[in-house]
Amino acid sequence: MSDTDTQTIDIDRERGNFRYEVDYEYDAGTGLSEETIDYIANAKGEDEWITNFRKKALRVFNKLPLPTHWASRDLESIIFDKIRYYLSQGQMPSRSWDEVPDEVKETFERLGIPEQERKFLAGVEAQFDSEAAYSNMKEALRKEGVIFVGSSEGLKEHPEIFRKFFGKVIPTNDNKFAALNSAVFSGGSFIYVPPGVKVSQPLQAYFRINAESFGQFERTLIIADEGSEVTYMEGCTAPRFETSTLHSAVVELVALKGAKLQYITVQNWSDNVFNLVTKRGWAEEDAEVKWIDCNIGSRLTMKYPGVVLKGKRARGEVISIALANDGQHQDTGAKMVHQADETTSNIVSKSISVGEGRATYRGLVNMPDHLSGCKNNTECDALLINTNSRTDTYPAINVQGNGNSVQHEASVSKVSAEQIFYMRQRGLSEGEAMSLAVNGFVNDLVREFPMEYSVELKRLIDMEMEGSVG
């Protein structure tokens, strides 16, 4: 390892690094004010209650300070006045691939979306800047009553279902960026799975930032009704621009009694994206919410998926992999808020810091005094590749009550010289050995991802490690 490990690595994210000139039909311009909101509301033809909700959120956003008393000061480099908050070519997504505008189609073609379609996935929604460009779902699911639409369409067409939970899991004043999203949200998925329906194939969405200085603020709400099951996968990309770009989503999950909800994210943002996302789920009695999260790329990611365990025996899980490369800070973690007896939660987080990358784990586990029989297990392991890599761990654990137990363990290590030596002795190059060791480090988590994602992840890691010991 000795003299080679100061070499830095550049991850291959070229697959998403391209953009097209697009004539936008709607453009709210730069900066954020009540007028911006009026423009968005007008362009979308929204009901008055939504516009009021947005305006209230804007006031909260203006009032809340940046959380720099604990978070990275890099947040101060976001200039909210220079961001474009709404860009679209029309609100209603096309239902057939042929109707999608050519430039947008070409973008998604390169990202492999029709490819996914051919694989008979249950449903796909693709978001291009502010609005969904394409959305489709298998007819069989529609017949069973599954709703899979964009956020605007969801609030307009199915208010009786979505309004009840909209903004309830993550209130507007939860944090500054949740407030920002509540003010200018556009796009994202609204999903409803009726009682007892088990969606066997994952529903998918792709989020793509195409325009420079653009802020993407998608809003996702998934409701799994009693006894239902659903898996949702999202992928994110953006090309590399001169100026930085903001992605600030809000994702709310509701798993009613006995439901199972799984949310899978693979993000591969370019390294000038601020990715500041609020994600939280509710799990009622016997329900299960599971977040599987993979964070690669971006300049600063702040993302702490959480589960509020509201009903007896509810279960929450967060599985996360983060890879921080040069100039990147992956500030990720998990929150488990126990609110009922016999609830259990599990957090497994693995991070890899490469070059000057910095990976941070931040966690919260809360068990108040009226509860009994709750359990939490947290493991976070960090792997440091180069001598200038950095990792931090900041969990917060807060326990009271009867028969509750919590265990937290974190470790930091590097790939040992002995391991590398052992593999080199058997004829592997140093790069191959490193790649194998790193893949071994994350292997038990990678297996939790669906097949095509785990293959992709493995490939990404392989490429990284080849460079690391050049």
Residues of the shown chain interacting with other proteins in the complex, contacts defined by CB under 8 A: 5, 69-70, 369, 372, 382, 384-414
By beta-carbon proximity to other proteins, the closer residue of 396 and 455 is: 396
Amino acid 232 reads Y
Cβ(164)–Cβ(192) below 8 Å: no
CA 88 to chain CA centroid, Å, is: 22
Of 49 and 422, nearer to other proteins (C-beta) is 422
- For residue 299, the minimal CB distance to other proteins (Å) is 19
Q: Which is nearer to other proteins, 394 or 421 (CB)?
A: 394
3-class DSSP state for residue 49? helix
Closest alpha carbon to 304 in 74, 71, 73: 71
Of all residues in the chain, what percent are helix, strand and coil, respectively (each to 5)? Answer: 30, 35, 35
The total of other beta-carbon atoms located within 10 Å of residue 243's CB is: 11
The residues that bridge with 362 in the sheet, in sequence order, are 333, 394
At 336, list the tokens: 């488990």
DSSP one-letter code for 340: S
Q: How far is the CB of 330 from other proteins (least distance, A)?
A: 14
Report the C-alpha gap between 456 and 13 in whole angstroms: 12
Nearer to other proteins among residue 69 and residue 447 (C-beta): 69
Least separation in angstroms between CB 407 and other proteins: 5
Residue 5 or residue 464: which is nearer to other proteins going by CB? Answer: 5
Q: Which is nearer to other proteins, 410 or 463 (CB)?
A: 410
Residues sharing a CB contact under 8 Å with residue 370, sequence separation 6 or more, in sequence order: 401
Helical H segments across 371-416, by residue range: none
Instruction: Return the number of the residue (412 or 428) whose C-beta is nearest other proteins.
Output: 412
Distance of closest approach, residue 223 Cβ to other proteins, in angstroms: 34
Cα distance between residue 444 and residue 423, in whole Å: 20
CA pair distance 459, 435, nearest whole angstrom: 10
Among 377, 302, 320, smallest CA distance to 343 is for 377
Which of 9/43 has CB closer to other proteins? Answer: 9
Query: Smallest distance, Å, CB 350 to other proteins?
Result: 14
Nearer to other proteins by Cβ, of 397 and 463: the residue is 397
Q: Which residue, 145 or 403, is less far from other proteins as judged by CB? A: 403
Evaluate whether 353 touches 389 at the Cβ level (below 8 Å). yes
Q: Rounded to the nearest 5°, which phi and psi values hold at 124? A: -135, 135
Which one, 412 or 463, has the nearer CB to other proteins? 412
Q: Give dist(CA 195, CA 259) in Å, integer.
A: 8
Query: Nearest approach, Cβ of 258 to other proteins (angstroms)?
Result: 28
Q: How far is the CB of 354 from other proteins (least distance, A)?
A: 10
* Shortest distance (Å) from residue 27 CB to other proteins: 39
Question: Which of these, 280, 299, 302, lies nearest to 291 by C-alpha position?
Answer: 280
Least distance (Å) between residue 324 CB and other proteins: 13
Query: Would strands 315-324 and 288-297 be described as parallel, antiparallel, or unpaired?
Result: parallel
Q: Which residues contact 236 (CB under 8 A, 6 or more apart)?
A: 206, 207, 208, 247, 265, 266, 267, 268, 269, 275
Q: How far apart are CA 182 and CA 227, in angstroms?
A: 30
CB of 63 to other proteins, least distance (A): 16
Q: Compute the least distance from the CB of residue 464 to other proteins, in Å.
A: 15
Q: Nearest approach, Cβ of 304 to other proteins (angstroms)? A: 15
Cβ–Cβ < 8 Å for 282, 308? yes
Contact 361, 349 (CB under 8 A): yes
Nearer to other proteins (CB atom), residue 387 or residue 425: 387
